[in-house]
Amino acid sequence: MVSSKDVAKQAGVSQATVSRVLNSPELVKKHTLEKVIKAINDLNYIPNANARSLVQNKTGTIALLSGPLHNPFFVDTTSAIVNYASEMDYRIQVQFVNDKKLSEAYTTAFEQKVDGIILSCILNDDPIFEKLTRMEIPFITYNRKHQNNEYFVEIDNYEAGYLSAKHMIEQGHKQIAWIGGPLNVSTFNNRFLGFKQAIQDFQIYLPEEYKIITDTTKQSISESFYKLMHLQQRPTAICAGSDSFAFNLIDDAASNNLSVPEDLSIIGIDNVNLSQHSMINLTTIGSISGKNLGHLAIEKLIDMIKNKNNSCVKITEPVRLFDRSTTRNL
Amino acid sequence: MVSSKDVAKQAGVSQATVSRVLNSPELVKKHTLEKVIKAINDLNYIPNANARSLVQNKTGTIALLSGPLHNPFFVDTTSAIVNYASEMDYRIQVQFVNDKKLSEAYTTAFEQKVDGIILSCILNDDPIFEKLTRMEIPFITYNRKHQNNEYFVEIDNYEAGYLSAKHMIEQGHKQIAWIGGPLNVSTFNNRFLGFKQAIQDFQIYLPEEYKIITDTTKQSISESFYKLMHLQQRPTAICAGSDSFAFNLIDDAASNNLSVPEDLSIIGIDNVNLSQHSMINLTTIGSISGKNLGHLAIEKLIDMIKNKNNSCVKITEPVRLFDRSTTRNL
DNA sequence: ACAAGAAATGAATACGTATACATTTTTGAT
DNA sequence: ATCAAAAATGTATACGTATTCATTTCTTGT
């Protein structure tokens, strides 16, 4: 590999001068500048970012620990995060984390000595959180948060759950079920709490079988749907824990020959880009501002990295209903 | 930052021994091993991958230069690539490249001294290709290829274009339009060639206005659609250059109050995961094996990196029709 | 033409690791 | 107990860069 030393020899200068040409060309005389640049081009020299990181003690790299892309929410956020980081001259190392490989993913990030970590995959009482704070690496969570988090970006999940149920109730539904993810995930937990509060406020009867907490695999969701649809008293409406859940449920409905919304109303939460597609048109709850959570988070993170800014970041975006066509008046 | 030297001091051994504990523990006596491991844990030591890269001259990192995620094809491939790489203990640095930032993206990858590059965004006669080969970094393209490429993975694009047109013809359509991307992209070019061949073989009349080559922005596609729909003799079927094009066109149809397939048949190419969704059900052409192109490519790339394997990789997956519900008999 | 100050360059070093080689310690057969 | 071989450990160096400090070269005002 051709190094700055090789360039220096070729140009008849010292290695330090080559370094200066790259990092502070205003310090070097025009004549030598040209000589060095010529040598760089002749030798096809490309500086080694790893060596640079070593001496400067920063890598210009951010680790992204995202949920899987089959969840369209993470498609939107990943896209926003990677693009904004690129604009700001940060590189993103992405991992799509499942629970099994979680701690491995963290280790990788730590070893790379990334300048910051942006992550979604954290549980409300995750023990990894301690490790993360002790690392002294700036990090921020989006969508989910840990109970002790001081840096996070989310939507108002409680309100989202509340509005979700409220919408169904206002449409005249009395049999409303919930299907959402595990309650050790802050997002699902708060949404579910909001949902239950609305149900209670409007004095709707909510049988135990209508409260379904499941993991996020396609199969588990399908099984939950199947169970729900084979109850004696089956629900006329389902509030899904997220748009991703809603999409799965809509698919399940189709395979069970049920039309949405004619036979069954379904509402999501997140208002992902895909939900606006004309062939889907999912009714959902989403951020009023329409700002992408990933974008908000990466902006803040880069600010934290650059300015050693230590004040908290606790952003909770207000939400509203996006009334589209997967729910209907009873 | 705590380094292996600090650990060495704490454990009362040399730095070399610490290094051995991490990389070849079988060489170190049990007693000292335990001392060192204790010191590592006490100090919360995490090795610096950059320093390691410097001396070992490999980074364990692969650069992914992907197209944007609003194209669902790249959702599927990115997911497969990142996950497989993680399994094989490679890290992925991802960039979603647009044409403006292309050469910048390459530079970034080069500077990081990545072990390999997996990319989609390359033009048929892209001058960057020369640079890439001169770099002596293993690389592979998926989906698209350069005219001189010796390492690529694609579907049989020509055949895909052919089958796409053939399907419409067999459904009884006589007015069949093409809307696809730029012809300096191998993928679009070959698909278009296949399309034209089928049209010719079946002796269909193809007016100039039915051949639309546009860039891949939502707006340009919408404009193309609008033009097409306001022709005196408007087409009854559109062959889209990709599933992504098809999704856009379906959206455009909806906003123009045209139903698919009642008023207009639309077929895509790629058979992306999303196209199978019950609410979309896009008729399309895709790989028979169903193998993900990204997965095929990253497999090959990692093999190339590990085994210094220099023989060519030229994979062209055969295709077939996936007859779903966005086309209908005339 | 000269000195003093500024500008440009070079020499030396540090970053954190892996590894070749040198040295010490341990083992085991006699 | 001795010694050779094997095992374990330590020392020194290299990787490619940025940067501090020392040195040289250039300006400029007299």
Burial (CB count <10 Å: 0-12, 13-18, 19+), residue A39: buried
pLDDT for B97 equals 92
> Is strand C in 7 Å reach of the CB of B27?
no
Q: Which residue is nearest to nucleotide C19 (CA to C1')?
A: B16
Predicted confidence (pLDDT) per residue in A8-45, tens digit: 999 999 999 999 999 999 999 999 999 999 999 999 99
Residue A265: which of A244, A284, A279, A278 has the closest Cα? A284
Give me the residue from B48, B134, B273 closest to A44, CB to CB: B134
Cβ-based neighbour number of residue B224 at 10 Å:
22
Q: Name residues whose C-beta falls within 8 Å of residue B67's C-beta, 6 or more positions apart in sequence.
A: B73, B74, B96, B97, B120, B121, B143
- Please judge whether A113 and B278 are an interchain contact, meaning their C-beta atoms are less than 8 angstroms apart: no
Chain D footprint bases within 7 A of protein beta carbons:
7-12, 14-20
- B-chain CB neighbours of A46 within 8 Å are 107, 110-111
- Please judge whether A61 and B93 are an interchain contact, meaning their C-beta atoms are less than 8 angstroms apart: yes
Predicted confidence (pLDDT) per residue in A169-191, tens digit: 999 999 999 999 999 999 999 99
> Is strand D in 7 Å reach of the CB of B203?
no
pLDDT for A268 equals 98
Question: Is residue B92, in this structure, part of any structural domain at all?
Answer: yes
Question: Is residue B229, in this structure, part of any structural domain at all?
Answer: yes
> Is strand D in 7 Å reach of the CB of B31?
yes
> Could you tell me the CATH number of the domain that includes residue A43?
1.10.260.40
Please give the residue of chain A at the shortest CA–CA distance from B97.
Answer: A83
Q: Which amino acid is at A140?
A: I
The secondary structure of B203-246 as a DSSP string is T----GGGEEE--S-HHHHHHHHHHHHTSSS--SEEEESSHHHH
Domain that residue B88 falls in: 59-155+290-318
Q: Are B245 and B72 in contact (CB under 8 A)?
A: no
Do residues A91 and A135 both lie within one domain? yes
Q: Are A324 and A281 in contact (CB under 8 A)?
A: yes
Q: pLDDT by residue for chain B (330 residues), tens digit each?
A: 899 999 999 999 999 999 999 999 999 999 999 999 999 999 999 999 999 999 999 999 999 999 999 999 999 999 999 999 999 999 999 999 987 788 889 999 999 999 999 999 999 999 989 989 988 899 999 999 999 999 999 999 999 999 999 999 999 999 999 999 999 999 999 999 999 999 999 999 999 999 999 999 999 999 999 999 999 999 999 999 999 999 999 999 999 999 999 999 999 999 999 999 999 999 999 999 999 999 999 999 999 999 877 789 999 999 999 999 999 998
- Please judge whether B46 and A93 are an interchain contact, meaning their C-beta atoms are less than 8 angstroms apart: no
- Please judge whether B112 and A95 are an interchain contact, meaning their C-beta atoms are less than 8 angstroms apart: no
pLDDT for A102 equals 84
Do residues A242 and A167 both lie within one domain? yes
Chain A span 8-47 residues with beta carbon within 7 Å of strand D: 15-16, 19-20, 22-23, 45-47
Residue B92 per-residue DSSP state:
E
- The rounded mean pLDDT for chain A is 96
Do residues B218 and B119 both lie within one domain? no
Do residues A101 and A190 both lie within one domain? no
Do residues B174 and B280 both lie within one domain? yes
| Alpha-carbon Rg for chain A in angstroms | 25
Predicted confidence (pLDDT) per residue in A274-326, tens digit: 999 999 999 999 999 999 999 999 999 999 999 877 789 999 999 999 999 99
Question: Is residue A88, in this structure, part of any structural domain at all?
Answer: yes
Question: Is residue B109, in this structure, part of any structural domain at all?
Answer: yes
Question: Is residue B325, in this structure, part of any structural domain at all?
Answer: no
* Per-residue tokens: A191: 């949404």
Task: Give how many domains chain B has, as a whole number.
Answer: 3
- How far, in Å, are A54, A133, A209, B39 from residue B3 at the CA level? 12, 19, 55, 11
Q: Cα–Cα distance between B93 and B64 in angstroms, integer?
A: 6
Distance from CA of B201 to the nearest CA of A (A): 34
Residue B256 per-residue DSSP state:
T
Q: Are B289 and B127 in contact (CB under 8 A)?
A: no
Do residues B232 and B258 both lie within one domain? yes
pLDDT for A278 equals 93
Residue A113: which of A312, A305, A313 has the closest Cα? A305
* Per-residue tokens: A122: 């954290």
Do residues B35 and B85 both lie within one domain? no
- Please judge whether A82 and B101 are an interchain contact, meaning their C-beta atoms are less than 8 angstroms apart: no
Predicted confidence (pLDDT) per residue in A99-133, tens digit: 778 888 999 999 999 999 999 999 999 998 998 99
Q: How confident is the model at residue A253 (pLDDT cuts 50, 70, 90)?
A: very high
Please give the residue of chain B at the shortest CA–CA distance from A276.
Answer: B251
Shortest CA to C1' contact from A57: nucleotide: C15
- Please judge whether B61 and A107 are an interchain contact, meaning their C-beta atoms are less than 8 angstroms apart: no
Question: Is residue A329, in this structure, part of any structural domain at all?
Answer: no
pLDDT for B268 equals 98
∠ CA(B239), CA(B243), CA(B244), 5° rounding? 115
pLDDT for B12 equals 96
Please give the residue of chain B at the shortest CA–CA distance from A46.
Answer: B111
Residue B164 per-residue DSSP state:
H
Question: Is residue B227, in this structure, part of any structural domain at all?
Answer: yes
Can you list the positions of beta strands (E) in B69-150? 91-96, 116-119, 139-142
Give me the residue from B54, B107, B278 closest to A54, CB to CB: B54
pLDDT for A100 equals 76
Q: Are A141 and A187 in contact (CB under 8 A)?
A: no
Do residues B127 and B272 both lie within one domain? no
Do residues A34 and A82 both lie within one domain? no
pLDDT for B78 equals 98
Do residues B308 and B279 both lie within one domain? no
Do residues A302 and A242 both lie within one domain? no
Question: Is residue B108, in this structure, part of any structural domain at all?
Answer: yes
Bond prior to A318 in cis (omega within 30° of 0): no
- Please judge whether B251 and A53 are an interchain contact, meaning their C-beta atoms are less than 8 angstroms apart: no
Do residues B235 and B283 both lie within one domain? yes
Q: Name residues whose C-beta falls within 8 Å of residue A241's C-beta, 6 or more positions apart in sequence.
A: A178, A179, A180, A181, A187, A188, A191, A192, A269
> Could you tell me the CATH number of the domain that includes residue A258?
3.40.50.2300
